[in-house]
Amino acid sequence: MTGTTSRAEQLAGYRRVLEARAQGGQPERLHELVSDPITAVRIALAKNRRTPPEVLRHLADDAHHTVAWNALLNPQMPEAGLRRLADLESRTHGSRNLGDREAVAHHPNAPASLRAEMTRAGTCRQTATCTLMQEALSRADGSE
């Protein structure tokens, strides 16, 4: 039977989720977990405020949108990751989908030049949506 995992494999995956979530995790280990095959591990890593910016930048390229989205909401996401996510959404969806770009426009690490670029692109077309995004980023940052 393919696709099944043993109890030992399940427990090992659960331990890696806990490692990825740990606020006192070793940076070297967090670097290793970035390519874990279990999506839940990468999501936990993306949510961890202690995850190094270069790991978050790598998670911005994750094929699973939930991983990339959680990395985007992490207040440690570096500018390079923000630009990557904004460019990817623009190429993929054009002006039809602005969710990631709205988050980028309101991210605490977005430089003024990137915010201006997002504004010119029409990212913030609905004030209410932008307000909600700012609130979500505040909650993610713990500054609420």
List pLDDT tens digits, range 54-72.
Answer: 999 999 999 999 999 999 9
| Dist CA 78 CA 108 (whole Å) | 10
Of residues 36, 40, 51, 120, the one with CA closest to residue 86: 120
pLDDT of 46 > 80? The answer is: yes
List pLDDT tens digits, range 5-29.
Answer: 789 998 999 999 999 999 887 889 9
* Reduced DSSP (H G I as helix, E B as strand, rest coil) percent helix, strand, coil of the chain, to 5: 65, 0, 35
- pLDDT tier, 1 (very low <50, low <70, confident <90, very high otherwise): very low
The contacts of residue 2 (CB under 8 Å, 6+ apart) are none
| Dist CA 136 CA 61 (whole Å) | 21
> What is the rounded average pLDDT of the residues 65-80?
94
